[in-house]
Structure 1
Amino acid sequence: MAGPGEMTSLLQDGREGRPERAESVWWNRRSAWWALSAAPLLNMTIGIVLAPKIEVYTGLACMSHRPELFEKIADNSLLKSAVVALPRLCATDPEVRRVVAQLTTAETTMLGILSCLATGWWSSLSDRTGRRTLFFAAASGMLCANVIYILVNRFWRYLPGGYWWILLGPLIEGSFGGMPASMVAFTAYVGDTTSEQRRSKTLSINFGLYWVGFSIGPLVGNLALRMTGNIMSIFYIAVTLQAAFLLYTKFIMLEPLSKAQQEQARANWKLHHEPGQQSLTRQGLLLAKVWDLFAPIVRPLEAIKPVLKKSMDPTVRPRRDWNLFLAAVSIGCLFIIAGDLPFKFQYASAAFHWTAEENGFFLSTLSASRGIYLIIILPLIIKYFKPPTQEIEIKVESDTEPSGYKTIKQKLESPTFDLRLARISIFFEGAVHVVMVLFPSPGSLYFLGVFGTVGAGFPPAVQSVALSLYIHQGGEEVGKVFGALGVIQTLCGQIISPVLYGFVYVLTVNIFPLSIFVASTIAITSSGLILFLVRMPTHHEIIAKHTDVSGFNPGTSIRWGQSTDQAGALVEI
């Protein structure tokens, strides 16, 4: 991706390096909407198959391990017609549930690890070959995965290993980056086509459109299931929509990077990867390649390591500031629950006899309520309850003034509002899970989904806290801290989470299936307890940091002036 110094040229170049005058007509003018307009389409294909996958896994496992539960099946395909319905006994059979949990765990773990390793490579390639390459790779992987689901469902009896061939889908999808790569593609496209002043707002729209597409997908899938009675029709729809997105990317979407910028990126890449040390042994080259593979995961974490904090009192020894590190760990603990949704679907299928249609409706309700809260309700809460920015006058020492002092003005944000918002959000997130454990019912699950959206305020609030702590520590490159948080979210949410929930559910599915909700409650509680250890800098520390005046001390005169209503400023961060 182009550096900050190249952003001006990025905003002036047209498609494929055309001069700015070629952008006089709207179809040649670079805009983030070329990508954002297609965001709901691609995200809809992700949400539309999420719940049906569980029913496909259940059907394959049931036909393999409990074929006697089926009265009549016309051929080898699953749910060929509306007349032959998947027996409800399949979803409650212990052996079938165990196999489904194993398949779900293997799929999510494989997809998470491969996506974590491949997304960085594909993102780097898009700097050299264009952003559309990243879109094309991510969508192609998703399309291939859905095609494999269709083929394995139809021909699993003839394949060595049977239904386990379905894991070829996440293998291919993860190798092409999967959903993480698509999210990076949309973010990079916005960064290439918007100015710094508008970028935060446009990224917020991108995030909202993600939830719009994710909520529409299950509704479309439920409609198709009612009309056809065939669960696999949902996968055909997903393949069709993904193919349409690929055609849009290839023939309609404008390329935000010019030829010159791509050439410069290729030159920089060759210079950076030139093997200059000929004296390295074969083993050394192998180790270097292994490090290059994992460096994109390890190196960004340096941004959150504890740093030595100098005290305002020179007689006090410096100590390490752990606040940013603890905030990052708190984020990681919460994202561990990201992998519990497939197991919630499996639990609902067994305990409440929910079908893919009912699971899909629950997912749509969950996604829609979360999107509404994040786009409308939370910004209003911040606007009306966040303390306004205060303008203060600080009297500090000065060698240029006759009196020996000078007065400077400084605008001071509330240093603790976002931290309090994050703590309140995590409290609601944990409370609804406790309700589900104590009163398991379909109503409690919907209560968890709808009212639990209040907990959705935790990620943006705690990321704002992390950014404030990072800047207070002297950090200047904002992308570093968000890169570190992104690595933590991927590791915890897509690698650790599916392994943990799969292990817990397989061991307890026949004893205490509510264990997945207990595991989520423990993760949320751990996140909240760690967050309560985080301390924001005091007003005096912030003033001293911003003014950078060595003569300032806690006893310096401070006079508060009029409030300036900038309470919503941090919403754009």
Structure 2
Amino acid sequence: MSIAIRADEPIAVEEEVNNINRDDPIVVDNMPHIQTKSKPSQVYYLWPCYGLYAMAVGMTFAPNLEVRSKIICEGYNTPNCQEVPSFKNDVADLTIKLSLITGILACLTTPYWSSLSDKIGRLPVITLTSAGYFICNAINAYVSTRLNPSEMYLLYVSAAFDGISGSQSTVMAISHAYASDCTDNGSRAHVFSQLMGVLFLGVAAGPALATFVTRYTRSFEHAFIAAAVASILMLVISLIIPESLPKQKKEHIHSQQSTHSMHSLFRTPSVLDNFKKPFSILAPRTDPDDKSINVNLLALSVAYFPIVLAIGAVQIKFLYTKFRFDWDVSQLGTFIAYIGTVRALALLVVIPTTIKTLRRYLKPAVELPTTTIYEDEDEDTINEDLLAKYTDQGEIKFDLVLLRVCLIADSLAYVGLALSGNIFTFAAFSAVSALGGGANPAAISSLALLLSPNKSESSGAVLGAFSSVQSAGAQIIGPALYGLIYSHSPNSLFLVVIGSTFFISLAATFFVKYC
């Protein structure tokens, strides 16, 4: 249903805004060029592709740790590596190095892939990433069958392929850009939350499938083969589902960007370009209306950084869990599947239902002008920008509250994990962390698009900038920081540090201005 706003009689802006269903496109009389077309159902086409990638990642979590542990153990020439004092530290160090390789390369390539998706479409980039991830899993499958310490360098080659193809940060950025193409302006937290739910549904299904394959074949290397097959299926799906970016929008974005560059479409940016671009988007800007400094995207990136640092600690967390409870591949895979299931249910059911209910009964308060719009002499007039501005303010308030509540829950959960004395309390606090932490990236992505001071900035570029923050935090700094803390201090201290950093995120959200 479309809503046509007319001025046949005096209307109050507040009354008109409250009567608008945010799911309906707005058509303003005598202004047909601003009609928006929402295709939220098209997002569902992406779910199988996104889910397969997540499932492949989930299938390789435990096997990756097992390969690293066994290949290092082979170098010791001892039947019981657990008795070697440096064993856990060596496994952690290898994990950190591989994460750094992937993270640094992903941080350099994600801005390029994101910008390229604005020009050639989202799906071709997903296809390229799928191909890179297939090569990564194929190499790991080969290494896992031999476990030869002299071939450890192949693990670094595999990590490099993963990083060059953009890794998880590019998949997430392009998927969010695809979703934003299909939805109208406003809060997209519920759409991004559903995508995150699909992600963790795949992360839950992956370890369960890997456990089944491992037990059936009695060989954990087949999990890498299954992950490679999943990445091929992802590639095939990306070739047949509909593109989200209309041709007209691609041409518009390309025409805007061509004023800044006279180079070819496929010009490879320099390393400095790839570092500078995200920071130029996130940097403070002068507001043209009141000449104030707009730091919204910078504040959001500061809030996002502790979140992605925690994401980067996930392998260290699983390594800690494996050694603390002395679990094998199947047991660790079962625990990862449990965490993924809880988070998937939270993101697909609990959080979207809660958001929908709160929006229905607790409409966000917005400050509206006291003036009233009257009929013009010859034609109806209404300030659509004014309506959009005050509607977006309510959406921003809602997303900020959601983000703050989730940050507090996540912080308390990590402290609880550090203090847990048995597997039951550890599993309970892991579930609380899954409920709280899953919505954070979704809320951040929604806020980033709403708060972007440059409305001509493409969604791919904005989300790509935040994906660069994710790459730096989740794949470079996070694994290195928390890996070092885990290796050189009491084992659970890194969990306390993670929980404490969320208060930095919470403080940063209060620097967001939207009036």
Q: What TM-score, normalized to structure 2? A: 0.75
Note if 1:460 corresponds to 2:442: yes
| Bigger Rg, structure 1 or 2 | 1
Note if 1:217 corresponds to 2:206: yes
1:42 match: 53
Measure the CA separation in 2 of the matches of 1:367 and 1:231. 20
1:163 match: 152
1:534 match: 511
Note if 1:112 corresponds to 2:103: yes
In the TM superposition, residue 264 of structure 1 has moved relative to its aligned partner by 10
CA deviation vs aligned residue, 1:380-410 (integer Å, no higher than 9, x gap): 3334445315688744599x99xxxxx9997
Q: What secondary structure is seen at the aligned counterpart in 2 of 1:37?
A: helix
Q: 1:335 to 1:125 in 2, by over 3 A?
A: closer
Aligned length: 460
Note if 1:226 corresponds to 2:215: yes
Q: 1:177 to 1:303 in 2, by over 3 A?
A: closer
Kept after mapping to 2: 8 A contact 1:336/1:523: no
1:446 match: 427
In the TM superposition, residue 358 of structure 1 has moved relative to its aligned partner by 1.9
Measure the CA separation in 2 of the matches of 1:190 and 1:324. 20
Match of 2:307 among 331, 334, 356: 334
Measure the CA separation in 1 of the matches of 2:92 and 2:330. 20
Kept after mapping to 2: 8 A contact 1:306/1:325: yes
Kept after mapping to 1: 8 A contact 2:281/2:462: yes
Q: What secondary structure is seen at the aligned counterpart in 2 of 1:231?
A: coil
Kept after mapping to 2: 8 A contact 1:153/1:163: no
Match of 1:181 among 159, 162, 170: 170
Kept after mapping to 2: 8 A contact 1:190/1:199: no
Stretch deviating more after TM superposition (424-433 or 458-467): 458-467
Q: What secondary structure is seen at the aligned counterpart in 2 of 1:534?
A: coil
In the TM superposition, residue 486 of structure 1 has moved relative to its aligned partner by 2.9
Match of 1:60 among 71, 75, 80: 71
In the TM superposition, residue 417 of structure 1 has moved relative to its aligned partner by 4.4
1:520 match: 498
Q: 1:397 to 1:345 in 2, by over 3 A?
A: closer
In the TM superposition, residue 478 of structure 1 has moved relative to its aligned partner by 6.9
In the TM superposition, residue 111 of structure 1 has moved relative to its aligned partner by 0.7
In the TM superposition, residue 497 of structure 1 has moved relative to its aligned partner by 1.0
1:370 match: 343
Measure the CA separation in 1 of the matches of 2:512 and 2:257. 41
Stretch deviating more after TM superposition (484-493 or 456-465): 456-465
In the TM superposition, residue 311 of structure 1 has moved relative to its aligned partner by 11
What's the % identity of the aligned pairs? Answer: 22
Q: What secondary structure is seen at the aligned counterpart in 1 of 2:78?
A: helix
Measure the CA separation in 1 of the matches of 2:258 and 2:363. 50
In the TM superposition, residue 416 of structure 1 has moved relative to its aligned partner by 4.3
Q: 1:32 to 1:418 in 2, by over 3 A?
A: closer
In the TM superposition, residue 179 of structure 1 has moved relative to its aligned partner by 2.6
Output the amino acid matched with 1:525.
Answer: F
Q: What secondary structure is seen at the aligned counterpart in 2 of 1:230?
A: coil
Kept after mapping to 2: 8 A contact 1:92/1:350: no
Q: 1:431 to 1:267 in 2, by over 3 A?
A: closer
CA deviation vs aligned residue, 1:416-453 (integer Å, no higher than 9, x gap): 44433322221111111112222343223212320113
RMSD: 4.3
Q: What secondary structure is seen at the aligned counterpart in 2 of 1:94?
A: coil
Higher relative contact order (CA 8 A, sep 6+): 2
Measure the CA separation in 2 of the matches of 1:491 and 1:369. 27
Q: What TM-score, normalized to structure 1? A: 0.68
In the TM superposition, residue 208 of structure 1 has moved relative to its aligned partner by 3.1
Measure the CA separation in 2 of the matches of 1:469 and 1:31. 25
Q: 1:182 to 1:327 in 2, by over 3 A?
A: closer
Note if 1:498 corresponds to 2:498: no
CA deviation vs aligned residue, 1:339-383 (integer Å, no higher than 9, x gap): 111111111221111122222222222122112212222233334
CA deviation vs aligned residue, 1:58-94 (integer Å, no higher than 9, x gap): 11111112x221xxxxxxxxxxxxxxxxxxx535643
Q: Tell me, which stretches of 5 or more residues in structure 1 are unaligned?
A: 1-6, 12-29, 70-88, 277-288, 313-317, 402-406, 543-573
Measure the CA separation in 1 of the matches of 2:462 and 2:143. 42
